[in-house]
């Protein structure tokens, strides 16, 4: 390394052309010491005595109600025809069951929205919380031959 002299000779005003590495090495060593000290602390685990509990798994799957609505607005409860006016009473009866059954709604494409909205409102008013729509996916288009 080239250091300037104090005797005022030639080159006293010239800038230093080498990077002083000593401060960089000092910072690196300080960081290394910090990481050496903190690394064991990060993997330290606290041992606690957790209470153990035994329980049997619940195998009760909720019942499923398949409610179909055709294009004419006729309603079918698990493939049995039912009047639209009788649905609120049926919904109220099944909403009290534990676990509450799932209501699967299948509606024809051309079903009037009014009928579907009325059925959903009746189910919601009765307290059914698990309502889902069932749809049939369209068949996949055949891939073009190569």
Whether 10 maps to a domain, the answer reads no
Question: What pTM did the predictor assign?
Answer: 0.53
Whether 42 maps to a domain, the answer reads no
Whether 37 maps to a domain, the answer reads no
Domain count, the chain: 1
Domain CATH number, residue 96? 3.30.420.270
Q: At what angle do helices 113-126 and 87-95 cross, to 10 degrees?
A: 40
pLDDT digits 0-9 by tens, 32-48: 999 998 887 777 677 77
Whether 118 maps to a domain, the answer reads yes
Instruction: List the domain range (segments joined by +) for residue 125.
Output: 64-133
Whether 76 maps to a domain, the answer reads yes
Whether 99 maps to a domain, the answer reads yes
pLDDT digits 0-9 by tens, 53-84: 777 776 667 789 899 999 888 999 998 999 98
């Amino acid at each position: 390394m080239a250091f300037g002299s104090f005797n005022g000779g030639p080159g006293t005003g010239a800038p230093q052309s080498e990077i002083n590495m000593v401060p960089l090495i000092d910072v690196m060593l300080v960081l290394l010491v910090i990481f050496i000290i903190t690394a064991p602390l990060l993997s330290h685990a606290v041992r606690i005595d957790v209470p153990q509990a035994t329980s049997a798994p619940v195998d009760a799957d909720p019942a499923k109600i398949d409610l179909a609505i055709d294009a004419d607005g006729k309603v079918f409860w698990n493939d049995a025809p039912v009047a639209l006016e009788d649905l609120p009473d049926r919904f109220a009866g099944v909403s009290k069951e534990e676990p509450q059954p799932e209501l699967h709604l299948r509606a024809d494409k051309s079903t009037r929205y009014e009928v579907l909205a009325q059925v959903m409102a009746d189910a919601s008013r009765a307290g059914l919380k698990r309502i889902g729509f069932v749809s049939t996916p369209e068949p996949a288009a055949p891939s073009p031959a190569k």
